[in-house]
Amino acid sequence: MADLLQFPTALRQARSRRGLMQKTVAEKLNVDPTLLCSAERGARGPLDPMALSKLAAFLDLSPLEAEELNWAARHDRAIGALRRQGLSETELSAISAILSALYGLQGDQQIGLIDYCRQVGQSARMVKSLTPNPLNREART
């Protein structure tokens, strides 16, 4: 589970690059230190958007660093919501990989990746339709 999460690592790196302790950051954000610790461990979801904004300002994050931290939070919220809907770890892993790939691409590249995923899905359905179903074979015997 934790290996799919992006936010804990992004948060820990942003904080530790500045040489700050969790307790110092938590006090500045006016949050319980255990909440920040849990977020860094992946034991709870990402900080809310307001806390993220305060964090970015306090840590003096560059626009790129702030965007990466916010992306990691959005990624983990999406994965968490899908996990609560009952998706398998394999499904979550695939979605996480696609989200991560999309984040690294721009415009037409993103459209190309989405089209490629659709083609793979169509190919998988075609292969599945050609593969004999073992349940049908048992029913005939």
The pLDDT of residue 90 is: 94
**What are the backbone dihedrals phi and psi of residue 139, each rounded to the nearest 5 degrees, phi first?**
-70, -30
Q: Where are the alpha helices (DSSP H) in the chain?
A: 7-17, 22-29, 33-41, 49-58, 63-84, 89-103, 107-130, 134-140
pLDDT of residue 16: 92
pLDDT in tens, 59-89: 999 999 999 999 999 999 999 999 999 999 9
Max distance between CA atoms of the chain, in angstroms, equals 71
DSSP code of 141? -
Residues 40/12, Cβ–Cβ less than 8 Å: yes
| Domains along the sequence of the chain with CATH | 2-87 (1.10.260.40)
Residues of the chain with pLDDT below 70 are 1-2, 134-141
pTM of the predicted protein model: 0.82
